[in-house]
Amino acid sequence: MSFEHYLHKARTSDLFSVDRSWGQGRTLFGGVSAAIALEKARQQIDISRPLRSLSVSFCGATLADQDFHVSSQLLSEGKSVSQINGHIIQNDKVVTQITACYGIERESEVEVQAQPVTIPELGTGQRMSYISGLTPEFVQHIDYEYTRGQFPFSNSQYNELAGWMRFRDANEAMSESHLIALIDSWPPVALQKLKKLAPAATVTWNLEIVQPLSLLEKPLTAGEWLYYEAEIQQAHHGYVHTEAKVYSPDGTLIALSRQLVTIYG
pLDDT digits 0-9 by tens, 159-172: 999 999 999 988 88
pLDDT given for residue 5 in this prediction: 95
Query: Is the pLDDT reported for residue 132 higher than 90?
Result: no
pTM to 2 decimals?
0.95
pLDDT given for residue 199 in this prediction: 87
Would you place residue 32 in the very low, low, confident or very high pLDDT band (cuts 50, 70, 90)?
very high
Q: Per CATH, which fold does 3-104+114-263 belong to?
A: Porin (2.40.160)
Domain chopping of the chain, boundaries: 3-104+114-263
pLDDT digits 0-9 by tens, 212-250: 999 998 899 999 999 999 999 999 999 999 999 999 999
pLDDT digits 0-9 by tens, 67-89: 999 999 999 999 999 999 999 99
Which residues, in sequence order, are bridge partners of residue 89? 69, 94
pLDDT given for residue 133 in this prediction: 82
